[in-house]
C-alpha cells in the first residue's frame, strides 16, 4: 500500500466523522449559520481545538465559489484551508553532515512510540546512505533496551546500551563519544517514557540535555517529542510540558493509522511554532513518512491529494 493510501485509510475514522457531520452542509447550496456551527462541531470532534475550528469555519463561510457549490466543492475548499494551515509545519528531518554525529533526542510520554520511531529513523537515514548509531537511553527497564536492540538487529544498526537502572545522561554521553570516534553520521537517542507531571523525571530529561551539550554544545541538533496521534488534545499539554525541559525543536506524530483524532496536528500547529517532521502510519520499519501538508489535508478530508494539486494549478 502506498503511504498516502495508508494515511487515508488510517485517517478514515477522522475523515468519516468529519464528512458524516458535514453531509448536511455539503448537500446545501449555501452555508448558513447553522451549517457552519455543524462544521465547527465536526472539526472540534476531530480534535482541532475550539479556537482553530472556529477560525476554519469562518474561513469556509467566506469562500466564493464559481457557480453552484456541491459536496465536492465544499470538501475541496475545506481541504485547501487545512492545507494552508498545515503548510508552515512542513520541515523534513535532515541530518547535517557537519555534525559528528548529528544527534537526535526522542522524548515523550509512556507508549507514544519513541522506541519504534528510533528504529524507523535508523532505516530512513540508512536509506539516505548515512551511518547510524542508536542509544538505549531508556535505562529504567531492561525490556526497553532489548526492544531497541531488536530494532538494531532489524536495521543492522549498532546499539549503545547500559545496565538497567544506570544513569541515562552518562549513557547518552558515552554514546556520543563512541559515535564520534566511529565517525557515525547520525546518533539517535531513545529515552524512557515519562508523564509530564513527574517533576523528577522531567528534571532527568533536562540533565540528559545538558550532558549531551557538554560533548558538543550544538547538540542535540534535534530534540523531538514523539506524540501518539490518537490521544487528541492531550498532545497539547504534553508538548507544553516537554518544551520547557527538553528545548524541543520538532514533533513526530505516530499511530495516525487508525486515529479518529487526526485533526490534532492542526491544533498543534497553531500553538507552538514547532514543525511536524514526520508521521507514523504503522508498526513496520518503513511506516514513517515525511509530513506533507497537502497529503495530510487531503487524507483528513478523504479526498485525493491530486485534487488539491489540480485546484492549485487551475488558479
Ligand atoms: N499502529 C501504530 N502503532 C505504532 C506506531 N508507532 C508505534 N506503535 C506501537 O505503539 C506501541 C508503543 O510503541 P513504543 O515504540 O514501544 O513506544 P515508547 O514511546 O517507546 O514506549 P515507552 O518506552 O514505554 O515509553 C508499540 O506497540 C508500537 O508498535 C504507529 O505509527 N502506528
Ligand atoms: Mg520505549
Each of the 315 residues of the chain gets a pLDDT tens digit; together they read 777 788 888 888 778 877 776 666 666 666 777 778 888 888 888 888 899 999 999 999 898 888 887 888 888 999 999 999 999 999 999 999 999 999 999 999 999 999 999 999 999 999 999 999 999 999 988 899 999 999 999 999 999 999 888 999 999 999 999 999 999 999 999 999 999 888 888 999 999 999 999 999 999 999 999 999 999 889 999 999 999 899 999 999 999 988 778 889 999 988 889 999 999 999 999 999 999 999 999 998 889 999 999 988 887
Q: Dihedrals φ, ψ of 283, to 5°?
A: -90, -10
Residue 253 β-bridge partners: 227, 279
Cβ neighbours of residue 83 under 8 Å, at least 6 residues apart? 293, 294, 297, 298, 308
What nine digits make up the cell of 223? 530534540
What nine digits make up the cell of 25? 452542509
- Taking the domain 3-89+298-314, which CATH number applies? 1.20.120
Which protein residue has the closest C-alpha to ligand 1 atom 10? Answer: 113
Cβ neighbours of residue 20 under 8 Å, at least 6 residues apart? 42
Residue 228 β-bridge partners: 254
Rounded-to-integer distance, Cα 226 and Cα 237, Å: 13
- Residue 108 CA: nearest ligand 1 atom is 19
Distance 159 CA to ligand 2 centre (A): 14
Indicate which ligand has the atom closest to the C-alpha of 111. 1
Number of CB atoms found within 10 A of residue 5's CB: 11
First to last CA, the chain: 31
Residue to probe by mutation, ligand 1, list 113, 168, 231, 287, most atoms within 8 Å of CB: 113
**CB distance 303 to 76 below 8 Å:** yes
What nine digits make up the cell of 57? 469555519
CB within 6 Å of ligand 1 — which residues? 108, 110-116, 138, 144, 193, 254-255, 257, 280-283, 287
Distance 51 CA to ligand 2 centre (A): 33
Residue with cell 465544499: 74
Cβ neighbours of residue 89 under 8 Å, at least 6 residues apart? 265, 268, 269, 275, 276, 291, 293
- Taking the domain 102-291, which CATH number applies? 3.40.50.300
In 23-42, which positions are buried (b, 16+ CB within 10 angstroms) versus exposed (e)? eebbeeeebeeebbebbbeb
- Residue 116 CA: nearest ligand 1 atom is 15
Hey, where are the domains in the chain? 3-89+298-314, 102-291
Distance 228 CA to ligand 1 centre (A): 8
Q: Dihedrals φ, ψ of 134, to 5°?
A: -110, 145
- Residue 110 CA: nearest ligand 1 atom is 25
- Residue 147 CA: nearest ligand 1 atom is 16
Amino acid at each position: 500500500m502506498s503511504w498516502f493510501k495508508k494515511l487515508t485509510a488510517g485517517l478514515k475514522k477522522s475523515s468519516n466523522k468529519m464528512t458524516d457531520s458535514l453531509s448536511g452542509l455539503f448537500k446545501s447550496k449555501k452555508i448558513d449559520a447553522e451549517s457552519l456551527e455543524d462544521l465547527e462541531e465536526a472539526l472540534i470532534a476531530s480534535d482541532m481545538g475550539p479556537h482553530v475550528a472556529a477560525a476554519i469555519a469562518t474561513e469556509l463561510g467566506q469562500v466564493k465559489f464559481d457557480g453552484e457549490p456541491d459536496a465536492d466543492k465544499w470538501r475541496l475548499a475545506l481541504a485547501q484551508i487545512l492545507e494552508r494551515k498545515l503548510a508552515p509545519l512542513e520541515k523534513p528531518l535532515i541530518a547535517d553532515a557537519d555534525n559528528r554525529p548529528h544527534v537526535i533526542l526522542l522524548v515523550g510520554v509512556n507508549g507514544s512510540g519513541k522506541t519504534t520511531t528510533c528504529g524507523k529513523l535508523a532505516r530512513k537515514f540508512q536509506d539516505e546512505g548515512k551511518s547510524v548509531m542508536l542509544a538505549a537511553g531508556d535505562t529504567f527497564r531492561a525490556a526497553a533496551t532489548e526492544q531497541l536492540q531488536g530494532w538494531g538487529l532489524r536495521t543492522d544498526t549498532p546499539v549503545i546500551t547500559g545496565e538497567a537502572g544506570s544513569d541515562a545522561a552518562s549513557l547518552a554521553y558515552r554514546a556520543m563519544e563512541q559515535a564520534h570516534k566511529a565517525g557515525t553520521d547520525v546518533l539517535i537517542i531513545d529515552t524512557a517514557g515519562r508523564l509530564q507531571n513527574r517533576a523528577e523525571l522531567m528534571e532527568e530529561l533536562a540533565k540528559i540535555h545538558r550532558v549531551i551539550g557538554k560533548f558538543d554544545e550544538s547538540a542535540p541538533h534535534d530534540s523531538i517529542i514523539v506524540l501518539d496521534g490518537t490521544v487528541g488534545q492531550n498532545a497539547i499539554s504534553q508538548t507544553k510540558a516537554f518544551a520547557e525541559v527538553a528545548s524541543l525543536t520538532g514533533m513526530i506524530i505516530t499511530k495516525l493509522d487508525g486515529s479518529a483524532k487526526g485533526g490534532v496536528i492542526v491544533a498543534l500547529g497553531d500553538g507552538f511554532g514547532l514543525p511536524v517532521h514526520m508521521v507514523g502510519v504503522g508498526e513496520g520499519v518503513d511506516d514513517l513518512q515525511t509530513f506533507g501538508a497537502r497529503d495530510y489535508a487531503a487524507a483528513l478530508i478523504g479526498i485525493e491529494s491530486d485534487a488539491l494539486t489540480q485546484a492549485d494549478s487551475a488558479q
